Structure 1
Amino acid sequence: MSQLLETHVVTTGPAPRYVVIWLHGLGADGFDFAPLVPELVAPDWPDLKFVFPHAPVRPITINNGYSMRAWYDIREMDLEQRADLEGVYASVAQIDALIDAEIAAGFAPENVLLAGFSQGGAIALTMALQSRHAVPHVIALSTYLPAPTATTEQYRNSGRSPATKIFMAHGMQDPVVPVQAGMQSYQLLESVGFNVQWHAYPGLQHQLAQQEVTDLQRWLGAILTAS
């Protein structure tokens, strides 16, 4: 097996029951969303472990081949052709390996959650359809499903059951990943049976908003305090 991705880890207490694997966006790293943890986590939640992996460094076509941390190459802006699918599938395999490691460390498979922003969210959504694991919950922020028509058609033909619950949120003025791309992905995921909660925020660009964090906290809290 290939070497595991390097990660930054944050825990909210001494005995975590759930682990959240959170994937950063293009050109960022695993430290990017760590400061969100204190704002997001509510006092009545069980202890959590947040795992923030660092994507590999690779050249990005639309950035004139400049190398940066990325989960896959972006070849062009057209939604169906944007993502380097070989890179997407390689990242899916790398996140599957991280899930394997967390399960081996003692976490129940149903207590492993995935989250991602932008490129990281694209991998998280793809994991819902193609992971080796039955990913129970996915958070996808300011993002889209790579090659959405082909990917969902492949999923329809796989015979798998869409058990994953998905939280999707998007800024309506996002200049990087247009809200229409996120909405199309949301509608396709719903069409194959996924339980998707969709939020769109007027005036918001390619970033998080306080209302978005509040909505996510409410969605996560319902999961984490259910048992």
Structure 2
Amino acid sequence: MLETIERETGPSPRYSVIWLHGLGADGGDFVPILPELVRPAWPAVRFVFPHAPVRPVTINNSVPMRAWYDIREADLANRADEAGVAASVERVEALVAREAQRGVPASRVFLAGFSQGGAVTLAAGLRRSEALAGLVALSTYVPAAQTAAAALAVGANAQPVFMAHGTQDPVVPLRAGEQSAALLRDLGFAVDWHAYPMPHSVCLEEIRDLGDWLSPRLADA
């Protein structure tokens, strides 16, 4: 089981958000956004921020760092180490299963990620036959897009998707995000797409838009 940082907005959380960080960061990277994201009207939510394993990253001179998978080259078509992506998907599934054991079923779990973490989020979402509450993919793309359709599980496209990207992103170009959103729509996903004038990062408007997207999906039943 991955080590995690956790924050709960109230007792006995009814929903969970598992949030995957980007390359070289750690689980603490997105904890500071919570005051801007969380709305007073929401039911209690558990935020789970896992730490990716430390591994050598080829494109960074094989320097060990936290990474969800190896990056072999800059070209997006061959960037992601597919075996590494699959291994990270398994680790994420273990976190989803743990939430079920703690009383939050998959239907109340959101999976979110930035950059590498977003790629794993989308890869995991494509493979899920039991739908999560939603997928949040920030500044990212669908890894191994050419085989994405083959990975699509029956019922996976019932999961709503929030995607956001910077128009000035030099790491994952805007076009890659747009193409991934189009691919997901072709596969039957409902994708809420947003673009912002920013580089490979997040911005306040984006976090507020994400809060707006989450609010109706966090209706306390």
Mapped to 2, the partners of 1:124 and 1:159 lie a distance apart of: 17
Q: CA deviation at 1:66?
A: 0.5
2:27 alignment partner, one of 20, 27, 30: 30
SS in 2 for 1:176: coil
1:180 alignment partner, one of 175, 183, 186: 175
Structure 2 match to 1:105: 102
Q: What pairs up with 1:58-97 in 2 under 5 angstroms?
A: 58-97=55-94
Q: CA deviation at 1:187?
A: 0.3
- Percent of aligned pairs with the same amino acid: 54
Mapped to 2, the partners of 1:40 and 1:134 lie a distance apart of: 23
Q: CA deviation at 1:44?
A: 0.5
Q: What pairs up with 1:38-57 in 2 under 5 angstroms?
A: 38-57=35-54
Residue type of the partner of 1:138? L
User: Is 1:7 aligned to 2:4, yes or no?
Assistant: yes
SS in 2 for 1:175: coil
TM-score using structure 2 length:
0.96
**Displaced runs of 4 or more, over 4 A:** 158-161
SS in 2 for 1:115: strand
Number of residue pairs matched by the alignment: 221
Residue type of the partner of 2:217? I
Greater CA drift, 98-107 or 165-174: 98-107
Change (3 A) 1:109 1:160: closer
Mapped to 1, the partners of 2:154 and 2:61 lie a distance apart of: 40
Structure 1 match to 2:207: 213
Q: Is contact 1:96-1:133 (8 Å) kept?
A: no
Greater CA drift, 134-143 or 90-99: 134-143
Q: CA deviation at 1:14?
A: 1.3
SS in 2 for 1:31: helix
What's the CA shift string for 1:137-178, capped at 9, x where partnerless?
A: 0010011110112122442xx544511100000000001111
Q: CA deviation at 1:109?
A: 2.0
Q: Is contact 2:131-2:159 (8 Å) kept?
A: yes
SS in 1 for 2:182: helix
TM-score using structure 1 length:
0.94
User: Is 1:140 aligned to 2:137, yes or no?
Assistant: yes
SS in 2 for 1:10: strand
User: Is 1:200 aligned to 2:195, yes or no?
Assistant: yes
- More helix as a share of residues: 2
